Structure 1
């Protein structure tokens, strides 16, 4: 089982505009789709689409929280939850012919006590062969110290932990000994010089259309895994698909090199769709076949 943790879940609405987005303009009868969002829920959806066993983990409150949980149920993704008194957040993605505009709502307050309650649920469910992913922003009330507590508590009870975080939470996850960190290039470059002390852990830096820069454990020499050229409709959630595909492949005993190649192909197969972290399986099969042929 893979436990995909989302500290700040959201109800993600994707609206496809018929023309370029203009400030002050009114758009009527716009098609839209809702998703169980937040980075960890995107990871969970990717794993589920790839045939993996996954449980979504997160904090939920209010009617918006109910919508998210209903969407997870509809997708046949089980979950572990802790309840918040404030409502879960809403996020909006506007797609036009040229750009993707994202509007991200404010998350609910989560106390350290509520966080610890959910942490204990996950710890009690973990088996030694399980994996954990920790993704996204922290809601008000939580800090990098909570990331340290989560990693220190769960690491002895599972196969590994992959963290897709930013700033101090990312540094905390690294110092606590996660198996890998998966920030994007901007998040990685914004870290202070020397923030990541030398450790035998993987650094996976996503670079959009340029693929992935991978520093294997105990190595300062990066390897580049190129992304194939594909037509892009919506790149939102591609990094989450990469994390989901990576941890799914690792849970199937693939090597890090093979798992990362598969993950890059899966992420590429998601940007060709209009949805968030939706994978075109036919495209994935084609890209994976091409990648394996080029690496044999």
Structure 2
């Protein structure tokens, strides 16, 4: 079973507009509300891939109750730390081929609540064989919180796929216990390293040669419609994907994480791991729902993903 961690879940609200009017009235007919947060998108896609998953993290208030009920409707089991403070809303406005996001920061956790979750996480590790950790930390928790979770996972022999950014990612990568896999994009790499990283092979290789990334088995640099650049076990790969009709890009990175986690848990060969991750990411962009894929299309698009090893 895969444990999907979301420390700062949300109710994700998508507004679809033909035109977004600043300083004016925008009336919305097409509204979608989803149990959201990056890790919950991951859990939803894993479930759609018919693999076992357990969602965890921290929830509170009426929005927290709504999230649990929505997960139940999708047959996703969960075991969250419940707090009294209210969870958050996150709004995505899709307009004119663009995406404008309005993200609430969510509740501020106390040190005691952080410690309570670490205790729950440690207990849950005995029930699972793989962990995904996705998204930002809630306010109140130190930047090394994910590092503490990595240490616990290492002691129990449970591999971790870490999908976060900024200082919490830096702290985790500076620690001797490394995640099995990470999935940054070029913008997050640039922020992390302090110099610009673009989509050129030379730039990507230079970035991943940095000491910070030593000891990580899988580094998947997602590049949207341009596919991905991957380093695994000293080898570099360029993955290209076909042109597709994008309906809703929200959650596509999380769908990629879900495919990657399932493939790694199943110990698939390298090319199959990469093609699976790219396919689930693509399938998400083709659906209106966030963190949603149509598995009947999987084989068709899987065959269109090209994996090239680069010397």
Partner residue of 1:214? 230
Secondary structure of the corresponding residue to residue 55 of structure 1:
strand
Q: For 1:148 and 1:203, how far apart are their aligned partners in 2?
A: 17
Q: For 1:203 and 1:49, how far apart are their aligned partners in 2?
A: 25
Which is worse superposed, 281-290 or 148-157?
281-290
In structure 2, stretches of 5+ residues that fail to align are 195-209
Q: Cα deviation per residue 1:43-99 (whole Å; 9 max; x = unaligned)?
A: 111101111100111111111111111111111111121122321010011122422
Aligned partners of 1:128 and 1:159 also within 8 Å = no
Which is worse superposed, 237-246 or 198-207?
198-207
In structure 1, stretches of 5+ residues that fail to align are none
Q: For 1:51 and 1:2, how far apart are their aligned partners in 2?
A: 12
Q: For 2:164 and 2:46, how far apart are their aligned partners in 1?
A: 19
Q: For 1:285 and 1:226, how far apart are their aligned partners in 2?
A: 16
Aligned partners of 2:16 and 2:28 also within 8 Å = no
TM-score by length of 1: 0.91
Q: For 2:111 and 2:240, how far apart are their aligned partners in 1?
A: 40
Secondary structure of the corresponding residue to residue 144 of structure 1:
coil
Aligned partners of 1:80 and 1:122 also within 8 Å = no
Seen in structure 2, the aligned counterparts of structure 1 residues 147 and 216 have a Cα distance that, compared at 3 Å, is same
Q: For 1:247 and 1:116, how far apart are their aligned partners in 2?
A: 26
Partner residue of 2:298? 284
Aligned partners of 1:93 and 1:102 also within 8 Å = yes
Q: Cα deviation per residue 1:13-62 (whole Å; 9 max; x = unaligned)?
A: 11222x21111332335121111111111111110111110011111111
TM-score by length of 2: 0.87
Q: For 1:94 and 1:280, how far apart are their aligned partners in 2?
A: 23
Q: For 1:294 and 1:171, how far apart are their aligned partners in 2?
A: 29
Seen in structure 2, the aligned counterparts of structure 1 residues 293 and 161 have a Cα distance that, compared at 3 Å, is closer
Shift of 1:105: 0.8
Partner residue of 2:69? 70
Match of 1:229 among 234, 237, 243: 243
Tell me if 1:203 matches 2:202: no
Partner residue of 1:179? 180
Aligned partners of 2:35 and 2:71 also within 8 Å = yes
Which is worse superposed, 252-261 or 230-239?
252-261
Seen in structure 2, the aligned counterparts of structure 1 residues 135 and 200 have a Cα distance that, compared at 3 Å, is closer
Q: For 1:140 and 1:262, how far apart are their aligned partners in 2?
A: 34
Q: For 1:116 and 1:177, how far apart are their aligned partners in 2?
A: 21
Q: For 1:247 and 1:56, how far apart are their aligned partners in 2?
A: 14
Tell me if 1:190 matches 2:195: no
Partner residue of 1:83? 82
Seen in structure 2, the aligned counterparts of structure 1 residues 90 and 129 have a Cα distance that, compared at 3 Å, is closer
Seen in structure 2, the aligned counterparts of structure 1 residues 108 and 256 have a Cα distance that, compared at 3 Å, is farther
Q: For 1:134 and 1:215, how far apart are their aligned partners in 2?
A: 20
Seen in structure 2, the aligned counterparts of structure 1 residues 293 and 177 have a Cα distance that, compared at 3 Å, is closer
Q: For 1:256 and 1:156, how far apart are their aligned partners in 2?
A: 26
Q: For 1:44 and 1:293, how far apart are their aligned partners in 2?
A: 26
Q: For 2:85 and 2:257, how far apart are their aligned partners in 1?
A: 29
When the two chains are superposed, the root-mean-square deviation of aligned CA atoms in Å is 2.2
Aligned partners of 1:180 and 1:201 also within 8 Å = yes
Partner residue of 1:39? 38
